[in-house]
Amino acid sequence: SFQAMIKFIDKDKENQMQQALFGGGCFWCTEAVFLQLNGVQKVVSGYAGGHTIDPNYEAICTGETNHAEVILIDFDEQQISYSQLLTVFFAIHDPTTLNRQGNDVGTQYRSVIYYFNEQQKVDAEQFIQQLKADDLNIVTELSPVPTFYAAEEYHQNFFAKNPAQGYCNFAIPPKLLKLHSQFQGLLKP
Q: Compute the half-sphere exposure of residue 133: CA atoms within 13 Å on the CB side of its CA.
A: 6
Contacts of 62 (CB under 8 A, 6+ apart): none
Task: Report CA torsion sign: 174, 178, 184, 187.
Answer: negative
Write phi, then psi, for 56 (nearest 5 degrees).
-120, 170
CA R_g for the chain: 17
Catalytic-role residue among 26, 29, 61, 168: 26
DSSP H/E element including 115:
strand 111-115
**Does 26 qualify as catalytic in the annotation?**
yes
Contacts of 158 (CB under 8 A, 6+ apart): 27, 28, 31, 32, 45, 165, 168
Question: How far is 119 from 137, CA to CA, in rounded Å?
Answer: 23
**So which residues are the catalytic ones?**
26
